[in-house]
Structure 1
């Protein structure tokens, strides 16, 4: 989707301003486990080096055998369409969902058109629409658990849909049907393309980039106070990891300058140069704790340990540039998504597992369609297979 960038690092989310039935496995037909299956799973739990994780993984399918449809919600409202003060006709038309966010007893559904509705799980009714301006198009949602609020990121027809505006609304106000009681965020920032705002739930920070003056700013996610700024026109990109940020500067002919900063106060922890092949573009640079992943066009993937400069490479024939990453910090692994396939790698350069029977519905996966449990032992994704959704699990070393 043009202009929509969702970061694939843990639960950090970046929004960039724009330019102008189910397969059964391992159980009986009535959803109960047979005797041999129970024995095998218990045996696996006892002899596994990670018994808790192994048992949870092998019983993953049974955890969902009782799932049933409880309630359906509909964001489309003919009464709203005919009587609303909304001035944008496309907001009144039915469109597909692009985000679903659950917070407390509320469910928020954001449509591709930019219309966003809030539903109550207690009454199973729609409470309100979150579009508080007649020309507002909501681009993304973020639930801020630090202060129990919902942040909406929007663009407006009056500004040619080119500048991001953020708004924070308390969950309690939404529950009462009063979305107008929210307040704007980062009003001092010019978030026109290619500016962006990125919400980092792990570190409790917000990163903004104002392209107008080439300034990055870091805010506290609890109270939205400014912590520090980074003003350097040579900074090409910033990557966020737990506790640190990686600054990627404009490349020179044979290397690219890099800095690692403390996420808390912006202190420079390490500065170094990474050698590059001349005249070849950089496909990506990603940071995972002390590991730096660098891939150039038609070259091997390099995994650099920034502590001791130890370098590991994965052959370009084995590792092809993916469209998205998800880092599994609990397992010290990372997932790659390419076309419709999912692969799991470790930082020794080894392919841990690939899901050969798992074909994602969308090519060039957007990680909005991927959910990983907090224990990182289960992936839920939208797939093209015998049924639309499959439940995937690893085999001990996978997830």
Structure 2
């Protein structure tokens, strides 16, 4: 079932071709890219890391607080993932080439940036404020994706290798403390017993604390505990076409019959079947997507109305196809009982009665396809931070310069915007000594020499990845040149 991609609100999934999905999934390639490298293409899914739904019930949104939080954010630092010599262990020539950033993850005081070439670099936001190391520890390793496992404070890398013709995924867990000590090779392999060749995959689900793997060789899905990587149970059924994960449950979608699709809902804890049923379909109509959101099932066929089915009562709600057109991506907001849709650079908020809740007043996404690597949803689900098209009257945002927009999800109001025209020019050095807040300054009145080579307008050009560190109140962006910029106040 090809169609709009989606994300269920927590976890990590990457695919190599557009498809319905949830969480975070990494799929083995069919074949290496021309020229020997592997395309780290990121599908239109939510770029969420440590963003599962907040259980805080008294998180009343304060618009003025949010505006103040982002009011004085400026360009502060610049990091470069490119090293002409490349990681010392690397022998693959394409890993030494400059390429765009496709993924950014922050954990504690370390920022990880993954380039499309497969090189991953770690940068310190602490005292040293510089590149710590590369995470490629094998001469032929191409890193495809990153996942921060907060359960054991480690970074999981998912890689392919030239020696294996880039056909099989390999996972490795490395403690953040080892990376901080410049020991990226101190990690250990995960899921070694699994054959993760095309179309096999691994999916990390942060909300439920689970890992889902699929071995195409024997058509077996396995569920592991994300805390200790213990295998919990397996699902062996060749008729399963797709699995969608929601809090506490999994939806099994089976091969489509002539006029219906068989479905099963399982407990994600032990695999117990909670409900089995068939959903009627229009004959000879392509299925755009089937999505599970708690007790709500969303089904959309080509040129048909959106169907919202309550799987407990089987009450059916339909939304006119003229009102709800197939989006390129979803983001489900569990706590708010809402979901975001992305289509043609626009974002909209819906409820499960099929009603449009919010249209954003000033949030036109930069990328025509929904590249949700450039979108961040805060853990309280009150803010969306995106890379957007700049205002037409912004004279300093000519060419490829966009803006970073912060908007209220519930009202659609734009609360803050980082753009070339409202950002102060960077000063190359300061002499404030003890008064300087930058970690590059020390207590002996030595000058703080900025490493920033880009102008603000240049840093806002061709942003290919975005991450917001909620604890540090810093935004990290990566661009097509492999540069990472830090925006903070």
1:9 aligned partner: 8
Q: How many angstroms does 1:364 deviate by?
A: 2.1
Structure 1 segments, 4+ long, off by >4 Å, are 395-399
Which residue among 150, 158, 163 is the counterpart of 1:158? 163
1:108 aligned partner: 112
1:177 aligned partner: 182
How does the TM-score come out when normalised to structure 2?
0.71
* Structure 2 contact 291–297 (Cα < 8 Å) conserved: yes
In 1, the alpha carbon distance for the partners of 2:292 and 2:206 equals: 17
In 2, the alpha carbon distance for the partners of 1:142 and 1:182 equals: 14
Q: Which has the higher helix share?
A: 1
In 1, the alpha carbon distance for the partners of 2:199 and 2:7 equals: 19
Which residue among 71, 75, 83 is the counterpart of 2:81? 75
* Structure 1 contact 325–336 (Cα < 8 Å) conserved: yes
Q: How many angstroms does 1:59 deviate by?
A: 4.8
* Structure 2 contact 362–413 (Cα < 8 Å) conserved: no
In 1, the alpha carbon distance for the partners of 2:114 and 2:412 equals: 36
Q: How many angstroms does 1:68 deviate by?
A: 2.4
In 2, the alpha carbon distance for the partners of 1:203 and 1:101 equals: 20
Structure 1 unaligned regions, length at least 5: 21-49
2:304 aligned partner: 299
Q: How many angstroms does 1:367 deviate by?
A: 2.3
In 2, the alpha carbon distance for the partners of 1:51 and 1:177 equals: 41
1:60 aligned partner: 66
3-state secondary structure, aligned to 2:60: helix
1:121 aligned partner: 125
2:219 aligned partner: 214
Structure 2 unaligned regions, length at least 5: 12-23, 32-56, 392-401, 415-489
Shift in CA distance, 293/73, structure 1 to aligned 2, threshold 3 Å: same
1:33 aligned partner: none
Does residue 341 of structure 2 align to residue 336 of structure 1? yes
- Residues 245-324 of structure 1 aligned to structure 2 (within 5 Å): 245-324=250-329
Q: How many angstroms does 1:121 deviate by?
A: 1.1
3-state secondary structure, aligned to 1:70: strand
Q: Looking at both structures, which has the greater relative contact order when contacts are Cα pairs under 8 Å and sequence separation is at least 6? A: 2
Number of matched pairs: 363
Q: How many angstroms does 1:356 deviate by?
A: 4.4
* Structure 1 contact 57–394 (Cα < 8 Å) conserved: no
Q: How many angstroms does 1:69 deviate by?
A: 2.5
3-state secondary structure, aligned to 2:78: coil
* Structure 1 contact 6–366 (Cα < 8 Å) conserved: no
Tell me the alpha carbon deviations over residues 289-325 of structure 1, each in whole angstroms, 9 at most, x when there is no partner.
0000000011000000001000011111111111110
Shift in CA distance, 374/75, structure 1 to aligned 2, threshold 3 Å: same
1:90 aligned partner: 94
3-state secondary structure, aligned to 2:203: strand
* Structure 1 contact 6–14 (Cα < 8 Å) conserved: no
In 2, the alpha carbon distance for the partners of 1:234 and 1:226 equals: 22
* Structure 2 contact 104–114 (Cα < 8 Å) conserved: yes
* Structure 2 contact 342–370 (Cα < 8 Å) conserved: yes
Shift in CA distance, 52/138, structure 1 to aligned 2, threshold 3 Å: closer
In 2, the alpha carbon distance for the partners of 1:118 and 1:338 equals: 33
- Residues 39-54 of structure 1 aligned to structure 2 (within 5 Å): 53-54=60-61
Tell me the alpha carbon deviations over residues 257-281 of structure 1, each in whole angstroms, 9 at most, x when there is no partner.
1000000000000111100001111
In 2, the alpha carbon distance for the partners of 1:318 and 1:268 equals: 35
How large is the Cα RMSD of the aligned pairs? 2.0
In 1, the alpha carbon distance for the partners of 2:94 and 2:344 equals: 30
Q: How many angstroms does 1:395 deviate by?
A: 5.0
1:19 aligned partner: 30
In 1, the alpha carbon distance for the partners of 2:264 and 2:323 equals: 29
In 2, the alpha carbon distance for the partners of 1:51 and 1:169 equals: 36
